Amino acid sequence: MDYKSDIGYRKETLKKLLYNIQKSEDLIIQALYDDFKKPEFEAVVTETHYVISDLKNTIKNISSWAKSKRVFPSLLNFPSSDYIYKEPYGDVLIIAPWNYPFQLALCPLIAAVAAGNKVSLKPSELTPHTSAIIAKIIEKTFHINHVEVFEGGIEVSNKLLAQRWDYIFFTGSIAVGKIVAKAAAENLTPITLELGGKNPCIVDETADLKLAAKRIVWGKFINAGQTCIAPDYILVQKNMKVNFISYLIEEIIKAYGKKIDKSPDFARIINIKNWYRLTNMIHGEHILFGGESDANKLYIAPTLLEDPDLDSPVMKEEIFGPILPILTYENQNDIENVVSRYEKPLSFYIFSENNSFAKKLISKYSFGGGCINDTVIHFSNKRLPFGGVGHSGMGAYHGQRSFDTFSHHKAIVKKGNWIDLPMRYAPYKDKLASIKRILDWL
C-alpha cells in the first residue's frame, strides 16, 4: 500500500471507490431522504452524480495532475532547468457539514486521496444516515491506515482538531471555522476554510424579470434554502418590485404546486433547532407569500418577506433556509448601504441586461464567486475555483484545483555544471553594475 508515491495505487483505490459508490447509489439516495427528505432529483444531481462525475474526472486526469511541471528558468540561474514537484501534504483532516453531506465529504476526500495523502474524514452528525453509509463505503474501499471515517459530533471533532495534521480542509459555519483556524494555528497547519455568508442578489430594471424569478426560485429553494451559495436576500429596483414579486410567487407555485408540504420536490429543515431559528426570523415580519410551518414535520414553506428591518433577525445572520427577504433600491448608494453592512459573502448575484452596471458591481464588491443572470451554477464548472474570501472562507477547490489544494508545490532548480558564471560570488568589486543590468533586463 504505497499511496504516497504510487499513482497507480491511488488510481486503483479511486476506481474501487467509484464502483462502491455506483453500487450503493440507491442506498445513498435513501439515506439523504431519511436525513431531511432530500428529493431524489436533488440527491442525484447535487450529490451522487456530482461525486461520480468528480471521481471520473479525477481518475482520468490524476497522472497528468501529479506530474512534475517544467517551468521557464530564470536567466539569473543560467544554466538550469526548473521544476515544480507536487508532494502530498501527509496526514489530512476533512470536516464536513450536513447540507450536502455526501458531496461535501466525498469531493475533498477524492482530491486528498488523488494527491497521495492519508485521510481522516469527519462527516456531520446531523445527517446520521448519510454518515453511516459514507463510513461503510470507505471501510469497504480503503485500508484503515489510508482513509478512515470518524463519525460523531463536536466531541469527536474537537478530539481530531487537538491532534497534529499536515492539512485541514473544513466546510461549515464561520463560527466553527474560527475554532478550526485556532486549532490549526497551534501547529501552523495549512487550512482551507469553506464557509458561508449573506449572499446578495441584485435585480435591476433591465433584467428579464420572469426568467430572473425562475432562476432565483430554483437557486433559493433547492435543498429548502439550505445551500451555502443560495441567494440570501434580494435587492430589486423599486419600480420593478410589484411585478417581480408576482413572478416569484408564480414560479414557486409552478415548481412546488399549491400544497407545497405535499410536494416530493421540497426538502425539510435539518433539525428542530434550525426550525426554531428560522421560524423566529419570520415572526413579526410582513409575509408576502408562504410563512406556514410545521414543527413535527420540520417543514417551513418557501417564504417571501417584504422589506424587513436591517436590524431584524432575518437580516442579522446568514438565513440558510427557505426564507427570502425582498428589499428595494433606487440608486447605487442604496445597494451600498445594504451590501456593505455584511462581511464579504460567498456568492453575489446580479440580474441585469446592463453590462456596465453588472461589471461595476463585480469589481466594486469582494466575494467568493457568483453569476450574472443566474444563481448557484458557478459551482458546477470544475474549471472555476470554488471558495470564499474574508469571512466566507480561504482557499478554493474543484477540478484540478482540488488536487493542487492537497499538494505541496515544491520548487526545484537543477543547475548545470558545465559553466559557472562568476557574477554573484564575492569579492563583489566591479560586479554590481553588470548584475544590475541583468536584473533590470529580466
Q: Which ranges in 257-354 belong to alpha helices (H)? A: 272-282, 313-316, 332-339
Binding range to ligand NAD, per CB under 6 A, among 4-12, 149-157, 232-240, 334-342: 149-157
Q: Is residue 89 within 8 Å of 166, Cβ to Cβ?
A: yes
Based on its alpha-carbon atoms, the radius of gyration of the chain, rounded to whole angstroms, reads: 25
Q: Which three cell numbers stand for residue 239?
A: 419600480
Work out whether 228 is an interface residue with ligand NAD (CB under 6 A).
yes
Q: Which ranges in 283-431 belong to alpha helices (H)? A: 313-316, 332-339, 355-364, 400-405
Figure out which of the listed residues 47, 54, 318, 343 binds ligand NAD, where binding follows CB under 6 A.
318
Q: Judging by DSSP bridges, how do beta strands 91-95 and 118-122 pair with one another?
A: parallel
Binding range to ligand NAD, per CB under 6 A, among 30-38, 150-158, 306-314, 413-421: 150-158
Closer to ligand NAD by Cβ: residue 94 or 217: 94
Q: Dump strand ranges (E) for 11-156.
A: 69-71, 80-88, 91-95, 118-122, 147-149
Figure out which of the listed residues 74, 158, 332, 381 binds ligand NAD, where binding follows CB under 6 A.
158
Closer to ligand NAD by Cβ: residue 96 or 212: 96
Q: Cα dihedral sign for 268, 274, 275, 278? A: negative
Figure out which of the listed residues 48, 157, 347, 402 binds ligand NAD, where binding follows CB under 6 A.
157
Q: 25 catalytic, yes or no?
A: no
Measured distance CA(350)–CA(361) in Å, rounded? 8
Amino acid at residue number 357: F
Residue with cell 420536490: 265
Closer to ligand NAD by Cβ: residue 90 or 153: 153
Binding range to ligand NAD, per CB under 6 A, among 96-104, 110-118, 307-315, 409-417: 96-104
Q: Which three cell numbers stand for residue 49?
A: 452524480
Residues in 159-178 that interact with ligand NAD by CB under 6 A: 171-173, 176
Q: Is residue 165 within 8 Å of 92, Cβ to Cβ?
A: yes
Work out whether 321 is an interface residue with ligand NAD (CB under 6 A).
no
Q: Judging by DSSP bridges, how do beta strands 393-394 and 69-71 pair with one another?
A: unpaired
The residue with its CB nearest to ligand NAD is 196
Q: 205 catalytic, yes or no?
A: no
Binding range to ligand NAD, per CB under 6 A, among 131-139, 192-200, 359-367, 409-417: 192-200
Residues in 114-133 that interact with ligand NAD by CB under 6 A: 122, 124-125
Work out whether 194 is an interface residue with ligand NAD (CB under 6 A).
yes
Active-site option among 228, 251, 285, 343? 228
Figure out which of the listed residues 113, 133, 195, 260 binds ligand NAD, where binding follows CB under 6 A.
195
Residue with cell 474526472: 57
CB 97 to ligand NAD: min, Å: 3
Q: Is residue 196 within 8 Å of 227, Cβ to Cβ?
A: no
Work out whether 179 is an interface residue with ligand NAD (CB under 6 A).
yes
| Angle formed by the axes of helices 7-23 and 103-114, nearest 10° | 160
Figure out which of the listed residues 36, 65, 98, 256 binds ligand NAD, where binding follows CB under 6 A.
98
Q: Judging by DSSP bridges, how do beta strands 286-289 and 303-306 pair with one another?
A: antiparallel
Closer to ligand NAD by Cβ: residue 158 or 332: 158
**Quick one: 169 exposed, middle or buried, by C-beta within 10 A (0-12, 13-18, 19+)?**
buried
Binding range to ligand NAD, per CB under 6 A, among 24-32, 92-100, 292-300, 400-408: 92-100
Residues in 5-64 that interact with ligand NAD by CB under 6 A: none
Site string for ligand NAD, 371-390 (x = CB under 6 A): -----------------x--
Work out whether 219 is an interface residue with ligand NAD (CB under 6 A).
no
Closer to ligand NAD by Cβ: residue 124 or 237: 124
Q: Is residue 398 within 8 Å of 61, Cβ to Cβ?
A: no
Q: Which three cell numbers stand for residue 224?
A: 429548502
Q: Which three cell numbers stand for residue 171?
A: 466546510
Q: Which residues belong to the active site?
A: 194, 228
Residues at the site binding ligand NAD, with contacts judged by CB under 6 A: 95-99, 104, 122, 124-125, 153-154, 157-158, 171-173, 176, 179, 194-196, 228, 318, 320, 346, 388, 393
